[in-house]
Amino acid sequence: MSETQALPRFSAPAGEIIGWRDGDVLRATNIPYARARRFQPPERLTRCETPIEATHWAPASPQRTMQAFTRLLGASPNNMAQQEDCTRLSICLPARPATTPRPVMVWIHGGSYVFGAGDLPIHDPKPLVSEQDVVTVSITYRLGIFGFVGGTFQGKTNQEEAKAQGATGDRPANLGLLDMIAALRWISDNIATFGGDPDNVTLFGESAGGDAIAHLMTADETRGLFHRAILQSAPLGITPGRHGMHTAMARAAESLNERSSLKACLDAQHRVEKIGQRYLPGGLMPFGVQFGQPPLPPLDQRHAALEKRAPHCDLLIGHNVDEAELFMPEVEPLQGLFGLPVIGARLRSGLSQRITRHLYSRPAERFARRHAEAGGCVWRYRLNWGSGRAARGACHSIDLALLFAGWAEWQHAGIVEGMTEQELERSGCQLRALWARFARGGTLEDEGAIEGVVEWERVTPS
């Protein structure tokens, strides 16, 4: 038998897919779920008549280097292939046979909508799959200038100038979000071939990934495509009041077109980001979704859309207790204040707690309360692993070290400095079991805790 013949094959509606074996799991990686032309919505693919070789990691969306996050997370998409047509997904499933379809957990990575990739090594779902008997799907989608800038050109003059430079008129917004929906449709059509249950799909995502899931819950196009959601450290406090910012960012990107070089696009992204940051406190996350642009309703209809979805989507939502500690040492203008005797530490702690409450904790609490009052089943969690022990406490993104990959990939990450391999493996196994239990049945105890890791409680209507 040749090497190709020995590889696992999956006869899916999308075509015959050749995967690969990785110890006690099977993988099918770098599967195209749509075609992505620059600045255009994703296009549905027809069945592929030749075998799809799903044996390499999916490429990342083109992106700028972010040295701070590379240092803190111990990984960088710059070590991966990058290409604009990055609408790919990767599937991981247990190698052992199953008697019934397995729950499906779909990972949507974070990174402020400008950074990251579905197949980033620190996002490897192998421990979750092998321990918890689930099928995972990791989605890569367009980022930054390619996925989250667009909308109507402002004014006839600007429109004419943009067209004269090669732009083609009004440019769709929310392309990265549309990519995710295209991926969910592919999963709904094909996941049964991989032993997954298309009627038991849980989305889980961290930071911008969690934020994206919250917005997917408002989109009519996602009905029936997922049934549960886990929102990890979603910055829900930055959603309102961004229309003027999006308009200015779209205007600054108007001159780009399909003939612009990749370097020109990434250089423009830097300029567009700087413009967006002027509108935000601290310049936080200017790239993101736009309400009132497909597939999202207008902002004033957002809550009605979420209320409509609530009874049909079980929800687990929460934050890490020291979220903002990831960012505090990176804010250079404040380091002098933080270094002042006695008062400096208090200023830093107070600001860190305030940012965590404003961006993560209170918005998550409000989101959970509305979900419960609309008839949805919802639990809130607070993750405290590393608080008071890791270099930056239970900071933003530290939950990823517990859910994915393991010590070999995470030992060089700045956020886990101070924690041991034994602590990571033990606590990671516990958190993975909790996440999978929710994905499997959509329910947890009314109150519960894993000491030193996480605590949760059910949210009920007031």
CATH of residue 325's domain is: 3.40.50.1820
Beta carbons within 10 angstroms of residue 385's beta carbon: 26
User: Which residues are CB-neighbours of 344 under 8 A, at least 6 positions away?
Assistant: 337, 338
Across 261-409, the runs of DSSP E, i.e. the strands, are: 314-320, 378-383
Please give the pLDDT value at position 284. 79
Q: Cα separations (Å) of 269 from 48, 255, 421?
A: 34, 12, 38
Sheet holding 9-12, edge to edge: 9-12, 15-18, 52-53
Per-residue buried b or exposed e for 323-350, using 16+ beta carbons within 10 Å of the residue's own CB: bbbbbbbeeeeeeeebeeeeeeeeebee
Please give the pLDDT value at position 6. 78
For 117, the 3-state DSSP assignment is coil
Tokens matching residue 68: 């701070």
Range of the domain at 183: 3-459
Please give the pLDDT value at position 98. 93
Please give the pLDDT value at position 176. 98
Contact 323, 385 (CB under 8 A): no
For 408, the 3-state DSSP assignment is helix
Binned average pLDDT, 10 residues per bin, the chain of 462 residues:
66 98 98 97 97 97 89 89 96 96 98 96 98 98 96 48 46 96 98 98 98 97 98 88 90 94 96 92 85 94 97 98 89 71 81 92 97 98 97 97 97 96 98 98 97 98 88
Beta carbons within 10 angstroms of residue 306's beta carbon: 20
Please give the pLDDT value at position 343. 80
Please give the pLDDT value at position 329. 77
Please give the pLDDT value at position 328. 81
Please give the pLDDT value at position 332. 66
> How many domains is the chain built from?
1
Question: Which of 198, 183, 87 minimizes the C-alpha distance to 135?
Answer: 198
User: Which residues are CB-neighbours of 345 under 8 A, at least 6 positions away?
Assistant: 338
